[in-house]
Structure 1
Amino acid sequence: MKRFFIILLLLLLAGAWLGQLMVQDPGYVLLAYKETTIETSLWVLLLMAIIAFAILHTVINLIGRARVPAERVRSWRGRRNQKIAQSKTLKGLMALSEGNWWKAQRFLTQAAERSEQPLINYLAAAKAAHEQGESNAADNLLQKAREATPKAEVAVGIVQAQIQLSRGQNEPALATLLHLKRLAPKHTYVLKLLKEAYIRLNDWSGLNQLLPDLRRHQALPDEQLRELETLAAGHLLEQSLSSQPAEADSKTRLQAVAHTWQALPANCTHDTNLIEQYIGLMVEAGSADEAEKMLRDQLKKHWDEKLVSLYGRIASSAPHKQLDTARAWLKKHDDSPALELTLGRLSMQNEHWGSAIKHFEQSIELQPSSEAYAELSRLLSHLGEKERASEISTRGFSMVNGTLPLLPLPDEKAEPAQSAAKL
């Protein structure tokens, strides 16, 4: 209150002072423009200027206030659209998680039309459309996602590749994924999907070339990578021989298999199963002698029971040398059932029937196996020892299939007709 009176007093003093100035000297102002002149006092001109400024300021404020309601309306509409989009997006995602594909597609598509960032809505709606089998709708939604967010090519491409793989469109999926790999070479999920596409297409060469990227970017666990490496190597070896023309000679076929083997990663060339496959392919290519030499060198480096057993299956042009080689191994591996089985087979190749029987029996004594029983039974049968062969065969059958229950059996001396009559 005190301040108000002070201000009022100052205004009165200023007014009195201005009034005194106006009385003492009103001033004179002349404005002329062409033939028009305006004469007035200085104080009247100042008053008119103040009034004009006040009118102009008022008009500007009125215009500004007239624009505010329109902006408020637009802002309100934007907030309302965003709220509706969020609500429908939530409903659509819930329907998607519940497997209600039609409802999910409808809500997500509606939300995308109102959303400022519709990418997620379009992608999820495309998945819902795909689950309903609406291929055209899914493709259209993916195209809308691309147009709405051109920079999201990788995200859109991943969903497209997933849908293509799910449809069984493996070749288009491969093309999509190779494009994505060029855009994002370190994207681990793209690499995983690309791996899946190669396997579905039986493109083992492509998978083999992809494996270093999978390992470099740690896209898969080491154990799974080793399995894929072995899988690809096995198929590549198989294809190396099957792709050769029927008229190709043994040398050409062997070179094809050997070239593939040498191109495999080092881990694969030490895998027992792959070595066994390689040896088998060499024999199939008509190069049993080269297979025998390769396997012999491999066993010198690393003794393996499975490969030792395989050595006895190779029928080289010099079976007596094979037998001598295997006999020399007995000095260090006299407790190897696989070696005894191999010695028995090599003895049969050299027609040493007695030695073969002893080696088969020794193999069974060290570790009974169906192969040793079968070989011994076959040999005894051809030597005329039918009863003993039958006994050995029964023992081998029991080992493989387990002990059979005690059941009544027909009398061996009964006439066939009498036995048949009881059936």
Structure 2
Amino acid sequence: MRTWLWTLLLVVVAVCVAVVLRQHPGNVLLMISPWRVEMSLTMALLSLVALFVVLYVVLRLLGWLLAIPDRMRAWSGRRAQARDQELVEQGWIGLLEGRYAQAEKGFIKLHSQTRSVTRRVLAALSAARAAHQMGEYARRDQMLEAAQAGAGADAPLQEAVASVTADLLLAQGQAQKALDALAPLQDGGARHLHTLRLLLRAEKALDHHDQVFALTRSLLRRHAIDKAEALQLIDQSGAARLRSGMGDGSWRGVWKELKSEERMLPNVALAAAAALDETGEGNEAARVLEAAIGDKFNPTLVSVYAHCQADQVPRRLARAETWLQQRPADAGLLMALGLLCLNGQLWGQAERYLQRSLSRRDDPQCHALLGRLYDRLNRPQDAMRHWRLATEARVALPVLAADTVLPPAETQADPDPYHAQSAYDLPSVAPRTLPAEPEPLPVPPAVDYVIEPNAREHLERVRPADEPPAVVPPRSAINIEDFFDSAPIPAAAFEAPVTQAGEEGATPSGASPGHHPHHPHIEKKG
């Protein structure tokens, strides 16, 4: 549009000049010694315009020729910038897609070939982030050091390097190193939102409750953190500050520092109530808990509210009954009322509240309270039943099978010991009448048993003359079970005849004294 306007303006000017020259004819005389040039006014004006155009073209051409080196440098810079931009785009696309090795390779190439300080630092930080994602912490630290060296004295680049370093160290779980990396930003007064969030993460990981409390308040005031998350952090850090100050009494200063909204947070209220109870201020502790429960009903607060001294029971019981009107089916509140009645020795009301609580929820603590109540009322059976139910509700006890007991054995028809030793007794033989106290059998001397009768003679023949005879260990050292399936045969058994069926002292045919029917190859030696 601008071109058309200028063209129209030039046409108008040319027309005007032509009209003026037509109405005012004249000559122009140029005296250039030794020349004298005379021409019309129109010709002179046209010559001036042509001379201007020629000079303009010549000067522009000369300027274009002289600017060739600058244009080449600019072209090279634009080409390098486009190449760097392409590497940056490809690297970040790979980083966002999760191709960390490819992204790190591109960023390292960018860092080595770019001539821009800013892009060099950016490439080093991006490569460090890619190496961190792959768990290559040594390469990550090298790239962070390169970025720190490239940043120099540039404050924005130093802040970027510190923020990225702290973020990666926090992701690795090294909160103290992250806090050290953020120290220059704190000293320099850099308090932008990202730095505050990183500081909050580091202080929270290190359990620095005072710093967490202050940073959370600052972020909440600037609407840089979700309110629910901020209140949770304030609740935890404020309660920790109160508990840490209970030893020297500094918790009162912390309590005064808290806002009214912060005092009604659950953990803060619990910590403050514990501190007040420790100093004997039970009424003030009750008011703190009542305010917190009234703001937001919390079963833990109600349970703590029910643990009190006997002189506090009437006041707390009346307040808890007002809560019961709003929540008549709350099992935890009913159990808390039962506990208050137990503390106040109101046995009937305690039993009713606890029974109502059990009818809505089977709770082991409620069973234990009922067991304590019935034990106090001298009802041991009910007390034991509820204590057993409390144990079963708390511990997963196994289901035991019913006991199986074998019937007693019939021993009337069993043979006596003497008949049991005979291998030829028949079931039809009536048992003998034994003496009241049989005489004990004599203990046989230690004997040596061999498997073959001629084994000893063979050993004596093959033994060298100079070799001493083998020492037979005592009988107690020989494990006879290694050789036989039955016990050793006593010496008396070799002399006594074997009893046949129905006879005493008879010897079976084919048997001789000293020969055992079950072990025909065994011979007594010695």
Which TM-score applies when normalising by structure 2? 0.54
Q: Quote how far apart the aligned CAs of 1:388 are.
A: 1.6
Residue identity matched to 2:337: L
Alignment of 1:115-194 (within 5 A): 116=116, 117-118=118-119, 119-131=121-133, 132-133=136-137, 134-147=139-152, 150-177=155-182, 179-180=184-185, 183-185=189-191, 187-194=192-199
1:31 maps to none
Of all paired residues, the percent bearing the same amino acid is 23
Residues 2-401 of structure 1: matches in 2 within 5 Å? 42=34, 67-112=66-111, 113-114=113-114, 116=116, 117-118=118-119, 119-131=121-133, 132-133=136-137, 134-147=139-152, 150-177=155-182, 179-180=184-185, 183-185=189-191, 187-241=192-246, 244=247, 253=248, 255-283=249-277, 286-287=278-279, 289-290=280-281, 292-298=282-288, 307=301, 309-314=303-308, 316=309, 319=310, 321-326=311-316, 337=334, 338-347=336-345, 355-356=346-347, 358-368=348-358, 369-381=363-375, 385-396=379-390
Letter matched to residue 128 of structure 1: A
Structure 2 residue ranges without an equivalent (≥5)? 1-28, 36-55, 406-526
**Could you report, residue by residue, the CA deviation over 1:245-278 in whole angstroms, capped at 9, with x for unpaired residues?**
xxxxxxxx4x333333333332232234432233
For the Cα contact (< 8 Å) 1:309–1:342, is it kept in 2? no
What's the CA shift for 1:282?
A: 4.5
How far did 1:223 drift? 0.9
RMSD: 4.1
Q: Hey, what does 1:408 align to over in structure 2?
A: 401
* Deviation (angstroms), 1:160: 2.1
Q: Contact 2:354–2:370 at 8 Å: present in 1 too?
A: no
Q: Which residue of 2 aligns with 1:7?
A: none
Q: 1:271 to 1:377 in 2, by over 3 A?
A: same
Structure 1 residue 370: deviation in Å? Answer: 3.1
SS at match of 1:218: coil
Contact 2:337 2:350 in 1 (8 A): no
Return the alpha-carbon distance in structure 1 between the equivalents of residues 339 and 146 of structure 2.
66
Deviation at 1:165, TM superposition (A): 1.8
The one-letter code of the counterpart of 2:215 is L
Determine if contact 2:87/2:110 at 8 Å carries over to the other structure. yes
- The one-character-per-residue Cα deviations of 1:217-248 (angstroms, maximum 9, x if unpaired) are 1111111111111111121122223xx4xxxx
Answer yes or no: is the 8 Å Cα contact 1:85–1:111 preserved in 2.
yes
- Counterpart in the other structure of 2:492: none
More helix per residue: 1
Would the alpha carbon gap of residues 322 and 141 (structure 1) be closer, same or farther in structure 2, given more than 3 Å must change? same
2:227 maps to a residue whose letter is: D
- Assess if the C-alpha contact under 8 Å between 1:108 and 1:122 holds in 2: yes
Report if aligned partners of 1:123, 1:142 keep a CA contact under 8 Å in 2.
yes
Contact 1:360 1:372 in 2 (8 A): no
Aligned length: 336
Name the stretch that deviates more: 200-209 or 99-108: 99-108
SS in 2 for 1:162: helix
Amino acid paired to 1:97: L
TM-score (norm 1): 0.65
